[in-house]
């Protein structure tokens, strides 16, 4: 079976498992919506402030809860499943790519659903022509966060408290993604050019993909 066939098969089964257990849909997304609700409650009836902070709250909640989406595979990755994949001849890099693919699809769904919830709850003032830049920023941020979560899950495989450790790895490394995502719309509003921020997101995604694929085997062996 080719590298890509293995990656697609792993992604397919990850999505099948998610469809059955529904971690993202039934647990993470509702909690993220509750978090979105907390800000307006704290601000009271200052509608102008609520409208102004909408996009910033979306990125903050999106990245924080997106980390949970990204790390859900690490929490579910049992040692015997890793052993099975090894003995079936699965390339660790194909496993990284497959998990990044399935995770990115889930993350995209999560982020777009969260965006709809933000639009409904905050009615934010958005600059003209926002949908395409926002979609691009959400797409690139989702891919980057998932790659980061998958990589952190691989690095912490076999360690105790791996979910907490993986979060500690993801949080600081997600800063370029938070900056790139949030500043894309800010720059559009100020008419200062969004390309540098989209390039930052793309470069981060590319660097994480290269690191994930290139380090997959050494990380796999180091965990044994």
Stretch that binds other proteins, among 82-90, 124-132, 191-199, 201-209 (CB under 8 A): 82-90
Residue 75 found at the interface with other proteins (CB under 8 A): no
Residue 217 found at the interface with other proteins (CB under 8 A): yes
Stretch that binds other proteins, among 7-15, 116-124, 173-181, 201-209 (CB under 8 A): 7-15
The C-alpha angle with vertex 176 and arms to 42 and 27, in degrees rounded to 5, equals 50
Long-range Cβ contacts of 211-216 (<8 Å, 24+ apart): 211/151, 212/93, 212/96, 212/97, 212/100, 212/147, 212/150, 212/151, 212/154, 213/93, 213/96, 213/97, 214/93, 215/151, 215/154, 216/91, 216/92, 216/93, 216/95, 216/96, 216/154
Hey, which residues between 15 and 34 contact other proteins (CB under 8 A)?
16-17, 20-21
- The single residue listed with the structure tokens 């930052």 is 200
> Per this entry, what is the length of the chain?
224
Element (H, E) at 212: helix 195-222
Residue 160 found at the interface with other proteins (CB under 8 A): no
Q: Which of 10, 157, 216, 219 binds other proteins (CB under 8 A)?
A: 10
Residue 156 found at the interface with other proteins (CB under 8 A): no
Residue 90 found at the interface with other proteins (CB under 8 A): yes
Nearest-approach distance from CB 162 to other proteins, in angstroms? 15
Residues in contact with other proteins by CB under 8 A are 1, 5-6, 9-10, 13, 16-17, 20-21, 78, 80-81, 83-91, 217, 221, 224
């Amino acid at each position: 079976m080719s590298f890509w066939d293995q990656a697609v098969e792993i992604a397919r089964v990850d999505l099948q498992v998610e469809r059955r257990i529904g971690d993202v849909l039934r647990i993470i997304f509702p909690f993220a919506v509750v978090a979105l609700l907390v800000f307006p409650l704290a601000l009271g009836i200052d509608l102008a402030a609520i409208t102004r902070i909408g996009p910033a709250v979306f990125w903050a909640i999106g990245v924080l809860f997106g980390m949970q989406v990204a790390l859900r595979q690490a929490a579910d990755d049992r040692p015997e499943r890793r052993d099975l994949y090894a003995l079936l001849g699965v390339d660790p890099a194909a496993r990284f790519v497959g998990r990044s693919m399935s995770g990115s699809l889930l993350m995209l769904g999560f982020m777009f659903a969260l965006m709809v919830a933000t639009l409904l709850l905050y009615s934010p003032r958005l600059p003209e022509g926002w949908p395409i830049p926002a979609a691009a920023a959400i797409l690139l941020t989702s891919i980057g966060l998932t790659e980061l979560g998958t990589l952190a899950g691989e690095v912490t495989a076999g360690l105790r408290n791996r979910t907490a450790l993986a979060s500690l790895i993801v949080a600081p490394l997600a800063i370029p993604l938070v900056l790139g995502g949030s500043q894309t719309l800010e720059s559009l509003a100020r008419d200062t050019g969004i390309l540098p921020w989209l390039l930052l997101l793309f470069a981060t995604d590319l660097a994480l993909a290269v690191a994930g694929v290139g380090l997959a085997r050494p990380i796999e062996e180091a965990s044994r």
